[in-house]
């Protein structure tokens, strides 16, 4: 299949503009860039996820299953069919997405890829349903692969690892990361709300290193408005 680099580039620029507009109130009812389906470790079928996204009124989102895009592909097919049967109806934008394990500062972190061309050879090692090893496991190489396939790379939940976000974000920036998941609910509150202290610290670091901000619920359960 021919890779549509022009389309991927357009998607990347469109997504970049959205990320530049993200704030603490963007998630979970306007945008949501972190969610999982039964195709990795989530509980939602892609079709049910899509029904919820439309019912919520999401403007745009990404499914970020671990090391696979089959959930995204199923959701994309469902959305195309829905558009066909609902001409003129407002539909959210669904960007390609994936969550990838990677080594950064000798610990495992998760890197989110968005808006990439799924058929591009660079992303292929990372969508085989399992974590990579060796050079492909290094954060700089994960980031490069996402970018070469036309996408944006984002450090997921920076304040949730065994090393401080004050160390990890500068290191990720040096490795070429595009953005950080700034607005994230670390204590799984109900209703969902980004953790104020961590989000403020991450946003300040994003500003310092000229990184984009994203937000996401990291949904693994049956409700897109919650994490679990």
Which strands form 93-95's sheet, in the order they lie side by side? 31-32, 60-62, 93-95
3-state helix, strand, coil in the chain (%, to 5): 40, 20, 45
What is the CATH T-level fold of the domain 5-215, as seen in this structure? TIM Barrel (3.20.20)
- Give pLDDT tens digits for 121-133: 999 999 999 999 9
Predicted local distance difference test score (pLDDT) of residue 109: 98
Kind plus residue range of the DSSP H or E element containing 46: helix 46-56
- Cβ within 8 Å of residue 210, ≥6 positions away: 173
- For CA atoms 164, 167, 171, 173, the dihedral sign is positive
Residue extents of the structural domains in the chain: 5-215
pLDDT at 94 over 80: yes
pLDDT at 116 over 70: yes
Of 56, 178, 168, 176, whose CA–CA distance to 115 is shortest?
178
pLDDT at 1 over 50: no
Predicted local distance difference test score (pLDDT) of residue 5: 40
Residue 28 contacts residue 224 (beta carbons within 8 Å): yes
CA angle in degrees (0–180, nearest 5) for 68-188-15: 45
pLDDT at 4 over 70: no
Residue 12's pLDDT band (cuts 50, 70, 90): confident
């Amino acid at each position: 299949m021919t890779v549509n680099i022009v389309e991927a580039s357009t998607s990347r620029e469109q997504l970049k503009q959205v990320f530049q507009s993200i704030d603490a109130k963007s998630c979970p009812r306007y945008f949501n860039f972190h969610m999982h389906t039964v195709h990795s470790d989530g509980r939602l079928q892609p079709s049910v996820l899509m029904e919820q996204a439309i019912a919520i009124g999401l403007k745009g989102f990404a499914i970020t299953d671990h090391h696979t895009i089959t959930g995204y592909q199923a959701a994309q097919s469902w959305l195309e069919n829905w558009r066909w049967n609902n001409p003129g109806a407002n539909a959210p934008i669904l960007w390609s997405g994936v969550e990838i394990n990677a080594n950064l500062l000798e610990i495992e972190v998760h890197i989110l890829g968005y808006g990439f061309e799924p058929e591009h050879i660079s992303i292929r090692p990372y969508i085989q349903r399992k974590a990579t090893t060796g050079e492909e496991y290094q954060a700089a190489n994960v980031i490069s692969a996402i970018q070469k396939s036309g996408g944006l790379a984002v450090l997921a939940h920076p304040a949730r690892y065994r090393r401080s976000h004050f160390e990890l974000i500068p290191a990720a920036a040096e490795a070429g990361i595009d953005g950080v998941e700034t607005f994230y609910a670390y204590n799984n509150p109900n209703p969902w709300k980004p953790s104020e202290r961590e989000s403020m610290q991450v946003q300040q670091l994003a500003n310092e290193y000229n990184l984009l901000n994203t937000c996401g619920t990291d949904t693994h359960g049956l409700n897109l408005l919650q994490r679990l």
